[in-house]
């Protein structure tokens, strides 16, 4: 056991950064390659936001959001090949990606009661994965708040233009709003996530920053896997 009570060979990889830097793609691939579990904490904040909207709770009313935040039952499946998220037993993996949820999620995730509830669930998932070798956890505050003693901490970054181009490439049909509108929405969400009082988006002091603007996804995955393997070797020697 280590000082956090996890088996000594368990690995926790924390991957933080703003939208469109490659957190989800990188985290899933790294977890698959290294045989680890995978947790998308952004999906949990989105699921909480989806539930608020579905229950006519105004995301802009922090008191109403705080009061209701204990009600929905959230469950995250941590298989990197098929991650799942459900609320009150219903699969919400599609609806949590809607424009309505994306526009409201920063307000909901700034409410301290929402964060304390979800951080507790996230730490439970980390603890449960420890006996299965460990986990890759992605979000905004993993290295700073959720798992400050993570084995490896990564902060992914990229230019707003590259991030907007990537995100815009994913939108089709009526959802395709154009790169400029996508960039503006991303920058607005970054500002809200970085500016909130409770565990804002931030690079942990001991995180390794990777700028993915000019890297392929494979190069980013290789860099992260390399860092985890190096850390494992150092730990075995230490």
Ligand X SMILES: Nc1ccn([C@@H]2O[C@H](COP(=O)(O)OP(=O)(O)O)[C@@H](O)[C@H]2O)c(=O)n1
* Binding of ligand X by 50 (CB under 6 A): no
Closest approach, Cβ 94 to ligand ADP, in A, equals: 15
For residues 227, 229, 233, 236, the Cα torsion angle rounded to the nearest 10 degrees is: 110
Closest approach, Cβ 88 to ligand ADP, in A, equals: 25
CB 191 within 8 A of CB 18: no
Closest approach, Cβ 220 to ligand ADP, in A, equals: 5
Q: Which residues, 129 to 188, sit near ligand X by CB under 6 A?
A: 139-141
Q: Which residues, 65 to 124, sit near ligand X by CB under 6 A?
A: 105-106, 109
Annotated binding site for ATP: 17-25
Which CB atom, from 128 or from 217, has the smaller least distance to ligand ADP? 217
Tell me the site size for ligand X, rule CB under 6 A.
Answer: 14
CB 23 within 8 A of CB 17: yes
Which CB atom, from 151 or from 199, has the smaller least distance to ligand X? 199
Closest approach, Cβ 233 to ligand ADP, in A, equals: 26
Q: Which residue has the closest beta carbon to ligand X?
A: 42
Question: Please, which residues have CB within 8 angstroms of residue 17's CB and are 6 or more apart in sequence?
Answer: 23, 140, 154, 155, 156, 157, 201
Closest approach, Cβ 101 to ligand ADP, in A, equals: 14
* Binding of ligand X by 231 (CB under 6 A): no
* Binding of ligand X by 41 (CB under 6 A): yes
Which CB atom, from 92 or from 158, has the smaller least distance to ligand ADP? 158
Residues forming the site for ligand ADP (CB under 6 A): 17, 19-25, 166, 170, 212, 215-217, 220
Q: Which residues bind ligand X (CB under 6 A)?
A: 19, 41-43, 45-46, 105-106, 109, 139-141, 189, 193
């Amino acid at each position: 056991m280590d000082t956090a009570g996890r088996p000594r060979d368990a690995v926790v990889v924390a991957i933080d950064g703003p939208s469109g830097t490659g957190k989800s793609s990188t985290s899933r691939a790294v977890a698959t390659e290294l045989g680890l579990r995978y947790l998308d904490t952004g999906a949990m904040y989105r699921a909480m936001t989806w539930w608020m909207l579905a229950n006519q709770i105004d995301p802009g009313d922090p008191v109403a959001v705080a009061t209701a935040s204990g009600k929905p039952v959230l469950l995250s499946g941590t298989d990197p090949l098929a991650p799942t998220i459900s609320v009150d037993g219903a699969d919400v993996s599609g609806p949590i990606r809607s424009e309505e949820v994306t526009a409201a999620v920063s307000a909901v995730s700034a409410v301290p009661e929402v964060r304390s509830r979800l951080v507790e669930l996230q730490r439970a998932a980390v603890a449960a994965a420890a006996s299965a070798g460990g986990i890759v956890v992605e979000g905004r505050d993993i290295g700073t708040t959720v798992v400050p003693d993570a084995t490896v901490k990564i902060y992914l970054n990229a230019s707003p233009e590259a991030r907007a181009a990537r995100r815009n490439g994913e939108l089709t049909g009526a959802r395709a709003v154009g790169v400029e509108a996508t960039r503006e929405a991303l920058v607005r969400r970054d500002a809200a996530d970085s500016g909130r009082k409770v565990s804002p988006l931030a690079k942990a002091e001991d995180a390794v920053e990777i700028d993915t603007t000019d890297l392929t996804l494979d190069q980013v995955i290789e860099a992260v896997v390399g860092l985890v393997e190096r850390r494992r070797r150092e730990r075995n020697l230490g």
